[in-house]
Chains A and B, each alone.
Chain A
Amino acid sequence: MTAVTNAPPEKRSHGDQAPPKPRRRLGDLKVAMVFLIPATIGFVVFYIWPTLRGAYLSFTEYSLLEAPKFNGLDNYERMIHDSFFWNALGVTLEYVAINIGVQTVLAVAIAMLMYRLTKSITFRAAILLPYLVANVVVALVWYWMLDFQVGIVNQGLTWIGVDPVAFFGDSHWAIPTVAGINVWRHMGYTALLVFAGLQTIPTYVYEAAEVDGASELKTFWRITLPLLRPVLVMVLVVTMIGSFQIFDTIAVTTQGGPINSTRVIYYYIFERAFTRFDFGYASAMAMVLFAILAIVSLLQLRLLRAKESDLA
């Protein structure tokens, strides 16, 4: 899934020159093809072909080391009865809800602070810092810091009189912990996207609000948020797709445990495919995830009217 932005064709600004004669359309097409080919090859080889092959494999029994055998809808039927699959979906949803919920609220808050209080470039760069650290490194560093017995976070908690928390080991805490780590890493980046959206809101609406004596809070709810909506929808769609695909943090920390509390769908797919050599079944689950993501994205775009702006 790619987001296509339709930028309106810009008017040529060479005012002193006569507008060029209209060319034969096919003439442009050839050049356009040359420029499109590299991207198209990449898209076909790395996206379309694997997707089609994945779709085909989802109807087969395929152990990776032997040729795939067609088995119709068997994999999908198995999925219905596979309690691990449903558990994985539930765990993933819990993760997405916490991750996206907290992250979006924090990102909007940070963006508002940046917008209203400081325009400092240093500050903007600093807020992006966690995003520049590799996922696996972030996960490992937090894994150490949140260690029950020797981690610095639990040391700190003990000092302020709070009992240490088994962040990764307690099945109720594990998913919120992983979600929190990824919020920490991504909120700065998301905040910057929201911040860019804020800058597209014309200042005259704020001036008008000020003239009318609207409070800061009212301005936020009545002006900022509605006008930010198209950007916010894009941010939500993109971050949510990313959030559903949580894998690396889990892979380097809990690996699905304790019990099954962090076995998210991507990790379960990976386990089935590459440690249990059940590639056909893994492909079928990947197709289901694909369908879920497509539906969720479409719903978001539809329900939140991403195409229209309230400015118009």
Chain B
Amino acid sequence: MNVSRRTLLKAGLAALAVPSLAACNNGAAARGEGEVIYWLWDSAQLPMYTEAAKVFHEQNPQYSVKIEQYGWGDYWSKLVTGFISETAPDVFTSHSAKYPLFADKGQVLAIDDFVAKDNVDLGIYQKGLADRWVGADGKRYGLPKDFDSEVYFYNSAFTEAAGISPEQLNAMTWNPQDGGTFEEVVRRLTVDAKGRRGDQPGFDKNNIKVYGLGYGDAGGADGQTSWSWYAASNGWKYSEGEPWGTKFFYGDPKFTDTIGWWRGLITKGYMPTYAQAKSGVDITTSFGAGKYAITPNGSWMLGTYQTLKGVQTKLARLPIGPIGKRMSMMNGLADTIWAGTTRREASWAWVKFLGSQTAQDIVAKAGVVFPAVSASLPAAKAKFAANGWDVTPFLETVEAGDVFPYPANPNAADVSAVMTPAMDAVLSFDSPLSSLAKANDDVNKILAANA
């Protein structure tokens, strides 16, 4: 070999240096000026957004969109890593639980100027939705793309066997003292190992074959799919100044009474114990296996319930509570722009397009979510109906305005770090209801410290 060691050493160092230098390039310069990178987490919506991107490119040939999809579990940590390393996507799907913190840290772009400049009509959206994306600082951070609400998904074979009609299911009442007709229905739907119903003599609450009511978790700080509508229809509010809570009310008797009644269903044998409910893959799997007669859930789960082949699933309204009406949480998603984007105009053009009826018609036709634009809703309804779903129970509360927002908060992660274990402990009867007052104090301390 003629090559000297020195040359080898130099070559070796050079070889090492090349990839490390190349790695410094975050890729922003490598793509075209008009190319926007867009992230979403729902794989079921990927085809619609791919189609929307195609239409967008046809209408705006100077811009194009590259869509990347990551599952919910990876999505947020990947996004945060992207913020830090300045490689975040230009536009991404955002959630009301998450964007307040991003806004607080200056990671998402306020779009007020764009909205004003282009005269975007915010009246085309479902009532109240656009305002969800106005942050605590009064600035707007996104245009709504869809919305969701909650109902009961029930196993119609079980209700028929129990002699409960759809009319009965859709006219249930509830109160925190005796649970109203809702509890009667749940009691009747609960069947023990010997086939005796909850309202029949000899019912063995310790050996249950089918639970009347299922639940996925203790609900944490929001209770979105577990207890939120009971508490709301009992006249309870999460916080002072919804949705931007400055002081929470988890110690309020209206709330603790609700939770006390709810966890009482476990004692009565109508719901599985907390350990049993949490020791499962998830609530829909158990429902699909015929273990639950009724499971509350959100509209985004329609697709999942559709895949449960072993059961006949139908939808029923939430019960009317002490305040005399049904209440549902209404939450939704929006597309937000990363503050560090180098393509503001292109990003805004894409966000504006996704917020338009043209784009939402495409989304609606697939029948996966409810579009935020009211005029696009009939298309979604039609598609859901074609899939065998009568989605009226989801839409009634929304159309009547009997909805309440997701408890948004820049400290949402800290709040749920307190409330999740606290609710878990109450539901598993490890802590008394009164412990919620202490948890509420902890939550308010966090808010006061960060105010």
Residues in chain A within 8 A of chain B (CB atoms): 30-31, 33-34, 37-38, 41, 63-66, 84, 143-144, 146-151, 166-171, 173, 254, 257-260, 271, 274-277
Secondary structure of the A side of the interface? loop
Shortest Cβ distance from residue B173 to the other chain A in the assembled complex, whole angstroms: 30
Shortest Cβ distance from residue B51 to the other chain A in the assembled complex, whole angstroms: 32
A residues in contact with B286, CB < 8 Å: 147, 149-150
Q: Are A171 and B428 in contact (CB under 8 A)?
A: yes
Q: In the complex, what residue of chain B is closest to A144 when comparing beta carbons?
A: B281
Q: Are A166 and B273 in contact (CB under 8 A)?
A: yes
| B413 touches A (CB below 8 Å) | yes
Shortest Cβ distance from residue B292 to the other chain A in the assembled complex, whole angstroms: 9
Q: Are B5 and A30 in contact (CB under 8 A)?
A: yes
Which of B84, B275, B291, B413 sits near A65, CB closer than 8 Å? B84
Q: Are B425 and A259 in contact (CB under 8 A)?
A: yes
Shortest Cβ distance from residue A69 to the other chain B in the assembled complex, whole angstroms: 14
| B289 touches A (CB below 8 Å) | yes
Q: In the complex, what residue of chain A is closest to B77 when comparing beta carbons?
A: A274
B residues in contact with A259, CB < 8 Å: 421, 424-425, 428, 430
Secondary structure of the B side of the interface? helix
Shortest Cβ distance from residue B336 to the other chain A in the assembled complex, whole angstroms: 15
Q: Are B413 and A166 in contact (CB under 8 A)?
A: no
Shortest Cβ distance from residue B181 to the other chain A in the assembled complex, whole angstroms: 27
Q: How many B residues touch the partner, as a band?
A: 35 or more
Q: Please, how many angstroms separate the alpha-carbon atoms of A258 and B420 in the complex?
A: 9
Q: For residues 312 through 357 of chain B, which have their beta carbon under 8 Å from a beta carbon of chain A?
A: none
Q: Are A276 and B413 in contact (CB under 8 A)?
A: yes
Q: Are A169 and B106 in contact (CB under 8 A)?
A: no
* Beyond known contacts A37-B12, A166-B278: 11 more, CB 8 A cutoff: A34-B5, A65-B84, A65-B105, A148-B279, A166-B273, A169-B273, A169-B280, A254-B278, A258-B424, A259-B425, A276-B417
Which of A31, A65, A258, A276 sits near B428, CB closer than 8 Å? A258
Q: Please, how many angstroms separate the alpha-carbon atoms of A105 and B83 in the complex?
A: 46
Which of B80, B280, B413, B414 sits near A64, CB closer than 8 Å? B80
Q: Are A169 and B281 in contact (CB under 8 A)?
A: no
CB-CB under 8 A for A64 and B84, given A150-B285, A257-B421: yes
Interface string of B406-429 (1 = CB under 8 A from A): 000000011001001100110010
Q: Please, how many angstroms separate the alpha-carbon atoms of A146 and B278 in the complex?
A: 11
Q: What 10 A-B pairs come out closest when comparing CB atoms?
A: A169-B279, A169-B278, A166-B275, A169-B275, A166-B279, A65-B105, A170-B275, A148-B279, A259-B424, A150-B289
Which of A30, A64, A144, A149 sits near B276, CB closer than 8 Å? A149
Q: In the complex, what residue of chain A is closest to B273 when comparing beta carbons?
A: A166
Q: Are A170 and B430 in contact (CB under 8 A)?
A: no
In the complex, number of A-B residue pairs with CB atoms less than 8 Å apart: 104
Shortest Cβ distance from residue A143 to the other chain B in the assembled complex, whole angstroms: 6
Q: Are A276 and B414 in contact (CB under 8 A)?
A: yes
A residues in contact with B12, CB < 8 Å: 34, 37-38
Shortest Cβ distance from residue A171 to the other chain B in the assembled complex, whole angstroms: 7
Q: Are B417 and A169 in contact (CB under 8 A)?
A: no
Q: Are A258 and B285 in contact (CB under 8 A)?
A: no
Shortest Cβ distance from residue B41 to the other chain A in the assembled complex, whole angstroms: 16
Shortest Cβ distance from residue A155 to the other chain B in the assembled complex, whole angstroms: 11
Q: Please, how many angstroms separate the alpha-carbon atoms of A271 and B289 in the complex?
A: 33
Interface string of B1-34 (1 = CB under 8 A from A): 0000100110011001000000000000000000
B residues in contact with A276, CB < 8 Å: 413-414, 417
A residues in contact with B8, CB < 8 Å: 34
Q: Are A65 and B106 in contact (CB under 8 A)?
A: yes
Q: Are A257 and B101 in contact (CB under 8 A)?
A: no
B residues in contact with A146, CB < 8 Å: 279
B residues in contact with A277, CB < 8 Å: 80, 101, 105, 413
| B136 touches A (CB below 8 Å) | no
Q: Please, how many angstroms separate the alpha-carbon atoms of A65 and B338 in the complex?
A: 13
Shortest Cβ distance from residue A59 to the other chain B in the assembled complex, whole angstroms: 19
Q: For residues 284 through 315 of chain B, which have their beta carbon under 8 Å from a beta carbon of chain A?
A: 285-286, 289, 291
Q: Are B289 and A171 in contact (CB under 8 A)?
A: no
| B274 touches A (CB below 8 Å) | yes
CB-CB under 8 A for A143 and B278, given A276-B414, A276-B417: no
Q: Please, how many angstroms separate the alpha-carbon atoms of A171 and B9 in the complex?
A: 58
Q: Please, how many angstroms separate the alpha-carbon atoms of A34 and B9 in the complex?
A: 6
Q: For residues 76 through 101 of chain B, which have their beta carbon under 8 Å from a beta carbon of chain A?
A: 76-77, 80, 83-84, 101
Q: Please, how many angstroms separate the alpha-carbon atoms of A276 and B410 in the complex?
A: 10
Q: Are A171 and B16 in contact (CB under 8 A)?
A: no
Q: In the complex, what residue of chain A is closest to B214 when comparing beta carbons?
A: A149
Q: Are B425 and A169 in contact (CB under 8 A)?
A: no
Which of A34, A173, A258, A271 sits near B417, CB closer than 8 Å? A271
Q: In the complex, what residue of chain B is closest to A263 when comparing beta carbons?
A: B421
Q: Please, how many angstroms separate the alpha-carbon atoms of A33 and B8 in the complex?
A: 12
Q: Please, how many angstroms separate the alpha-carbon atoms of A84 and B422 in the complex?
A: 12
Shortest Cβ distance from residue A135 to the other chain B in the assembled complex, whole angstroms: 15
| B382 touches A (CB below 8 Å) | no
